[in-house]
Amino acid sequence: MRTLYLSAIAAVAISASAFAVETPITLKEGPGRAAVENLCGGCHSLDYIRINAPFMNRQTWTAEVTKMINAFGAPIAQNDANVIIDYLAANYGDK
């Protein structure tokens, strides 16, 4: 009985970590940041931006945003896409 009780406590403790709160990602200040946070962050972690930044430039950010819209169906209007690309290229692009 004690083993069952300890197993139950261990299971609860392990499963509780699955509900841990993710640390908020703070992006660099700049025009377009709100669009990125709202439109990109609505589908995936904004951590992807910082992780991929060392490999990206305007051309690759354009391709990435286009892929999100065309392949994954991200509901982003073209004018918003341009704002997002400008922000990402200026703040997280290889210059």
Domain-wise residue ranges, the chain: 24-92
Lowest-confidence pick of 14-18, 54-58, 84-88:
14-18
Average pLDDT, stretch 53-57? 93
In tens, the pLDDT along 12-32 reads 656 555 555 667 789 999 999
Is the CB of residue 46 less than 8 Å from the CB of residue 27?
yes
CATH: 3.30.70.1520, 2.60.120.10, 1.20.1730.10, 1.10.760.10. Which one for 24-92? 1.10.760.10
For the entire predicted model, the pTM comes to: 0.75
Q: What percent of the chain lies above the pLDDT cut of 90?
A: 68
Torsional sign, CA 57, 35, 74, 80? negative
Q: Nearest CA to 61 among 78, 84, 43, 32? A: 84
